[in-house]
Amino acid sequence: MVRLPLQCVLWGCLLTAFAASVLDDFYLSAEEVATEISRSLQIAQFCF
């Protein structure tokens, strides 16, 4: 099993929490969600 750096694990937790909040938050527009998803993917690239 691959051991992820602590920073990436913390980011994963934050992104998971963010995704859960987005699903419950109807005030966010689709464009804002897409922007956050792309930003999250850029962050994830630093982990691999």
Instruction: Say if residue 2's pLDDT is above 70.
Output: no
34 token code pair: 């897409």
Q: How confident is the model at residue 4 (pLDDT cuts 50, 70, 90)?
A: low
The pLDDT of residue 40: 80
Q: How many CA atoms lie within 13 A of 42 on its CB side?
A: 6
- Separation of alpha carbons 46 and 20, rounded Å: 22
1, part of any domain: no
30, part of any domain: yes
27 token code pair: 């005030």
Domain that holds residue 10: 6-45
pLDDT digits (tens, 9 = 90+) for 8-40: 777 877 887 787 777 766 556 667 777 887 888
CA angle, 45 as apex, 21 and 1 as ends, to 5°? 90
32, part of any domain: yes
Into how many domains does the chain fold?
A: 1
